[in-house]
Structure 1
């Protein structure tokens, strides 16, 4: 065992670090560091179990620091060695945040960031496969990781034995405008369900929103807290079991201080903790580009919001939460996004994004693809996922309303077990 390996309850955790090209079209230029962690059962010794590579949701989040004795990893380790990949720019890979980009001009920031989409994440994985000397491996993609999976199936299908996707089958052709029109409808449905279950919550939300319009409230980092930021905690409604915690948070958000209403510090601190855009700026700055191939997003979610004016709050209308959308005002309000405002504008206007998918390759797919598609998914529209899968032979979908978008986290052992069984059936048919 090397000094960096460790064992926890019968699972061995082995870190790997790779120096890989920033730009695969210019491999002799700058490099970045990419980190991955291997998980295997100690009892397996030096066995030759096949590999399963995990692609995390996002974009812009590292692979989970996983307990090997629970959830989907527990099931995976029964027949795989697992590789948890910190996608470029995240975790222990060369980090992208407001600190590491500060020395660059806006143009340089934008030019650097264009190399951090799914195509290069997949190229990183493919280079790691070659360095490991592995002929084929299997992949598991959650949410945005599913987008990466379809990119892998487009670019290097010969390298894959199986593909498992949970809550992440994108359109391979549609403009993000179609995506956000669909997700605003889903978000409205989640709002209706929440306020129906907790009728008092509407009054509580309006009190908080009206207070924020009339008063300056600062988050612990000194940032002014606004109605728009408050609305964004609705992203949680895409996950299971979040309605009740949200209601509890609203109940004591406003407190009396010397006869005047004020937002409770506990509430403000919780609101700051909800703002993952602060620590993971790729999530904001590249979010819409994950849908772009040869066209610009031009702040698609912001434009879709204007077609759904119920989400633009004022005191004369009901309060609504928003969901997993990115808006240009965030780069004026979020403390850690302000230095990236000009780069964000450049990327929103960029039209010459390279292709992420190859429909002609996908139409000839021979890799067993097993997907969990969530019928009520607030982030990835079921109808769009089904549309895509009809174009990919040897793909199977388990369409279920048992789970929200975070099904893999909530009940990963069962979900992966079902997907593995589906993949086995497809493999038998292909044989």
Structure 2
């Protein structure tokens, strides 16, 4: 009974599963994988079918619900919801510099090579075999979670009854270089929109950057705040209400000190909260690997950035970057420093397995509906449409109404619309 908790309108059940680290060696080392099952309060809740949720990422735990609201509220009307902490995150054998400290860099890289979408899906299918072995289940994937669903459809579609994707249809074949060329172009547009909406944001950002070039300012975690690190704030520009959060932060960045301007401690604290690189190492270590199939990334975002001099940290009008990771992060972010040799090995790894099976997707029979956000800064619209056209039985809703985090901002409506589209109901 200690594994059952209740929050507003939801019964929560904890599940822990012992699963292989490497599915090609089922008798080898194991990891623990955690999933939280949510049930509504209706009398038949325990007998409802399961909807598995794939969190965005890579490297982030599933959300911790606070109440029966948003997309969860819509889902619990007809499903039990299973929130999966993907391997290496949350309560699923979490990865950090401390958990990997007993391994050599080569051993770390070999270990983490098993933490991509292919093995996340193998975990999901193993859990399905445990919870409902005779019944295919439904899945919902946000962002990287959608990448996981495309992998599921490629490798284990027999386990799926239906699939829903929000902001997460990947290219099936484009390289990391191609992805980042498209992404940098999107981020340029987001910067222009940001500075147009907030005319004093550019001088505020420039003034702060000039200050950091001549003064040492430190974050609450002890890391030096550099101009390159400041640019990382741009990851928020692609989120609904993200630009506002960045602007209000810049407004209070500098205050008067005893002798000169200093960085406001409130700014330093909120800055750290808006970025997650220091707390979610898998996001940095495996971010580019999610695009790799029989090829290495070789720090693609860093290399492609040279084609966009507008993003130079020395620019007179500083721009913010987006969802990119860079090799210098392994030096400037203290929690990543011990993992720098491992990161270099992963960036140069060439034998990443294939993730998607184009032939299987072309003959897919699982009903799939997806929300594609036309102005998405993280998942290129044209690549998503390209993939959607090559997956059988996939319907999509193309909209400019939402940014990438639409599922968090208006999830009840978005999921309801996708369910209606999937079942051929009249859209509201």
Q: TM-score by structure 2 length?
A: 0.97
Cα distance in 2 for partners of 1:393, 1:425 equals: 16
C-alpha displacement of 1:18:
0.3
Aligned residue for 1:43, secondary structure, equals coil
Cα distance in 1 for partners of 2:71, 2:44 equals: 21
Aligned residue for 1:259, secondary structure, equals coil
1:107-256 alignment, distance < 5 Å: 107-134=106-133, 135-256=135-256
Aligned residue for 1:123, secondary structure, equals helix
Cα distance in 1 for partners of 2:29, 2:215 equals: 48
Cα distance in 2 for partners of 1:47, 1:235 equals: 39
C-alpha displacement of 1:393:
1.0
The answer (yes or no) to whether the contact 1:39–1:68 under 8 Å persists in 2 is no
1:22-421 alignment, distance < 5 Å: 22-45=21-44, 47-134=46-133, 135-314=135-314, 317-421=316-420
Cα distance in 2 for partners of 1:133, 1:395 equals: 25
C-alpha displacement of 1:119:
0.4
C-alpha displacement of 1:253:
0.9
The answer (yes or no) to whether the contact 1:61–1:91 under 8 Å persists in 2 is yes
Cα shift readout 1:122-170 (whole Å, capped 9, x = no counterpart): 0000001001133200100000000000000001111100000000000
Cα distance in 2 for partners of 1:211, 1:303 equals: 27
Aligned residue for 1:88, secondary structure, equals coil
**Greater shift after overlay, 215-224 or 403-412?**
215-224
**Greater shift after overlay, 131-140 or 320-329?**
131-140
Aligned residue for 1:17, secondary structure, equals strand
Q: TM-score by structure 1 length?
A: 0.97
C-alpha displacement of 1:330:
0.3
Cα distance in 2 for partners of 1:360, 1:129 equals: 24
Cα distance in 2 for partners of 1:275, 1:165 equals: 25
1:1-40 alignment, distance < 5 Å: 2-40=1-39
Cα distance in 2 for partners of 1:323, 1:9 equals: 36
C-alpha displacement of 1:66:
1.4
- CA RMSD in angstroms comes to 1.1
Which residues of structure 1 form unaligned runs of 5+? 427-431
The answer (yes or no) to whether the contact 2:177–2:301 under 8 Å persists in 1 is yes
Cα distance in 2 for partners of 1:313, 1:327 equals: 13
C-alpha displacement of 1:69:
1.4
Cα distance in 2 for partners of 1:411, 1:271 equals: 25
Cα distance in 2 for partners of 1:374, 1:396 equals: 14
The answer (yes or no) to whether the contact 1:67–1:73 under 8 Å persists in 2 is no
C-alpha displacement of 1:97:
0.8
Cα shift readout 1:235-255 (whole Å, capped 9, x = no counterpart): 111100222222221122111
Cα shift readout 1:397-431 (whole Å, capped 9, x = no counterpart): 100000000000000000000110111129xxxxx
The answer (yes or no) to whether the contact 1:376–1:404 under 8 Å persists in 2 is yes
C-alpha displacement of 1:258:
1.7
**Greater shift after overlay, 73-82 or 42-51?**
42-51
Cα distance in 1 for partners of 2:344, 2:46 equals: 50
